[in-house]
Structure 1
Amino acid sequence: MELFNQSSSSRFILLGLSTDPYLKVIGFLGFLMMYLTTLLANFLLIIVVSINPKLQTPMYFFLTNLSFIDIWFSTTVVPKILINTLKKDRSISLLECAFQMHFHLTLGSVECFLLAVMAYDRFAAICRPLHYNTIMSRTMCIRLTAASWIISFSNSILQVVYTFQMSFCHPYVNHFFCEVPPFIKISCSDTWLHEVAMYIATGIAASLSFFLTLISYIHILSTIFKISSAEGRYRALSTCGSHIIVVTMYYGTIMILYLRPHSHSSSGLDKSVSLLYSTVTPMLNPIIYSVRNKDVKGTIRYNLVKEIKLKLFLEKSHQHGR
Structure 2
Amino acid sequence: MSVKNTNSTSDFILLGLLVNSKFTGIVFAVILAIFVVAITANPVMIFFIHRDSHLHTPMYFLLSQLSIMDTLFTCTTIPKLLVNMISNEKTISFVACGIQLFLCLTMMGTEFFLLGLMAYDRYVAVCNPLRYPVLMNRRVCLLAAGAWFGGSLDGFLLTPITMNVPYCGSRIIDHFFCEIPAVLKLAFADTSLYEALMYICCVLMLLIPISIISASYSLILLTVHRMRSAEGRKKAFTTCSSHLTIVSIFYGASFYTYVLPKSFHTPEQDKVVSAFYTVVTLTLNPLSEPMDCSCQAPLFCCVPASLVYQGPDVPC
TM over 0.5: yes
- Structure 2: distance between partners of 1:115 and 1:263: 29
Deviation, 1:54, is 4.5
Q: Does 1:46 align with 2:46?
A: yes
Distance 1:298 1:70 in 2: 27
Alpha-carbon distance in 1 for matches of 2:89, 2:52:
47
C-alpha contact 1:24 1:85 (8 A) present in aligned 2 = yes
CA apart distance, 1:227: 1.7
Separation in 1 of the partners of 2:275 and 2:208?
A: 23
> What does the per-residue CA deviation read over 1:117-149, in whole Å, with 9 as the maximum and x for residues that have no partner?
0011111122222321111112x1110111111
1:146 alignment partner in structure 2: 145
Q: Which residue of 2 aligns with 1:121?
A: 121
Tell me which residue corresponds to 1:217.
217
- The percentage of aligned residue pairs carrying the same residue is 35
Structure 1 contact 181–262 (Cα < 8 Å) conserved:
no
Structure 2: gaps of 5 or more residues: 1-7, 304-316
Partner of residue 314, structure 1: none
Unaligned segments of structure 1, at least 5 residues: 1-7, 305-322
Name the structure with the higher helix share.
Answer: 1
Distance 1:178 1:136, change over 3 A: same
Correspondence list, 1:1-322, <5 A: 10-18=10-18, 20=20, 22-138=22-138, 140-169=139-168, 170-289=170-289, 292-295=290-293, 302=301
Whether the aligned pair in 1 keeps the contact of 2:122 and 2:240 (CA below 8 Å) is yes
Cα deviation, residue 23, structure 1:
3.4
Q: What is the TM-score of this pair, normalised by structure 2? A: 0.86
TM-score by length of 1: 0.84
Q: Is the 8 A contact 1:166 1:189 kept in 2?
A: yes
**Secondary structure of residue in 2 paired with 1:287:** coil
Paired residue secondary structure (1:13): strand
Return the alpha-carbon distance in structure 2 between the equivalents of residues 297 and 273 of structure 1. 38
**Cα root mean square deviation, aligned:** 2.4
Change (3 A) 1:225 1:256: same
In the other structure, the counterpart of 2:311 is: none
SS in 2 for 1:288: coil
Q: Contact 1:42 / 1:71 at 8 angstroms: preserved in 2?
A: yes
Shift of 1:247: 1.1
C-alpha contact 1:73 1:107 (8 A) present in aligned 2: yes
